[in-house]
Amino acid sequence: MTTVSLQSLNAADKAVFITALGDTYEHAPWVAEAVVGRRPFATLATLHEAMMAAVRAAPTDQRLALINGHPDLAGKAARAGTMTSDSKAEQASAGLDRLSEAEFKEFHRLNNAYRTKFRFPFIVCVRRHSKDSILRHFEHRLQNSMAAETKAALGEIFRIAALRLDQKVDASDKLKVHGRLSTHVLDTHAGHPAAGVTIELLELAAHGEPRLIASVTTNLDGRSDQPLIGGRPIPIGRYELRFHVGDYFTRRGAPQSDPPFLNVVPIQFAVAEPEGHYHVPLLVTPWSYSTYRGS
């Protein structure tokens, strides 16, 4: 995705600004128009605040139209390929573009029940969720009152907008939309970081196979050069880290049983705060290990 600097947006023609940010709110370029006159924006945060304020200040009908402008999750628009490119990429990020027939039916059922109750589409910032988490969230929000749900929908729209701004605009500040998932491996048998350990990160699903998210090898400091997930929200969901310690200890010549007591160490954990820092390390000998949520 090409990005644009906040500085240049501050200096640009009004039309250029509106074109650049018109997609921030789904089918609602009027939000960008509403704030173009308030330039310059010192930070991305103040730009985001101004756009949210514009939405909050709009007439009720216009806000409702904004909500109604969103496509169903895993709905007909997705199947028909008529979504905005932002929505398309977002839904794909949570795997909504590769549902099983059973999952598609479940989304269909929930979409219908939701529309029947609230008369607008269910909106959630899908980049912050796994498929399982979206379904759980969906069931939960179906229980809301109309007032609570209108507020919830708007909250999700603001989260979506924040992520779109984060991806489009370069500025000196960052919106608080990034989480970080990292690990490290400490060889407490030798008393130093474990280098050269292969680690896989998988996203788990209540139904269906785990999905490989990342595969890294630890450096001399026992860490991956980059976080396993960074620069984006960590989708709420369950994960498994797989540490290939048997191979590591074999290469290092550490005494092990045959077959080795530990080979691939799986650690399963859930992420509940997409913008949080999750550090999930492994302290390991050929006969023992421990892990914890660090930060």
Place of tokens 């269906």: 208
Which residues contact residue 140 at a Cβ distance below 8 angstroms, ignoring those fewer than 6 apart? none
Q: Indicate whether 144 belongs to the interface with its own copies (CB under 8 A).
A: no
Which residues between 259 and 278 bind its own copies (CB under 8 A)?
259-266, 268-270, 272-273
Check binding of 214 to its own copies (CB under 8 A): no
β-bridge pairing 198-203 and 211-217: antiparallel
Return the range that interacts with its own copies (CB under 8 A); candidates 69-77, 79-87, 155-163, 232-240: 232-240
Nearer to its own copies, 118 or 248 (CB): 248
Residue of 45, 191, 201, 214 interacting with its own copies (CB under 8 A): 191
Residue 36 DSSP label: G
In the bound state with its own copies, the residue whose beta carbon lies nearer, of 75 and 237, is 237
Residue 294 carries which DSSP code? B
Out of 40, 155, 231, 294, the only residue in the binding site for its own copies (CB under 8 A) is 294
Least separation in angstroms between CB 204 and its own copies = 10
For residue 128, give the nearest of 272, 291, 228 by alpha carbon. 272
In what helix (H) or strand (E) does residue 116 lie, and over which residues does it extend? Answer: helix 101-118
User: What is the Cα–Cα distance from 292 to 294, expressed in whole angstroms?
Assistant: 6
Amino acid letter for position 122: F
Q: Cβ closer to its own copies: 53 or 142?
A: 142
The residue (of 3 and 268) whose beta carbon lies closer to its own copies is 268
Size of the site for its own copies (CB under 8 A): 41
* Radius of gyration in angstroms for the set of CA atoms belonging to the chain, rounded to a whole number: 23
Say if strands 277-279 and 282-285 run parallel, antiparallel, or are unpaired: unpaired
Q: Which residues bind its own copies (CB under 8 A)?
A: 133, 186, 188-193, 221-222, 236-238, 255, 257-266, 268-270, 272-273, 283, 285-295
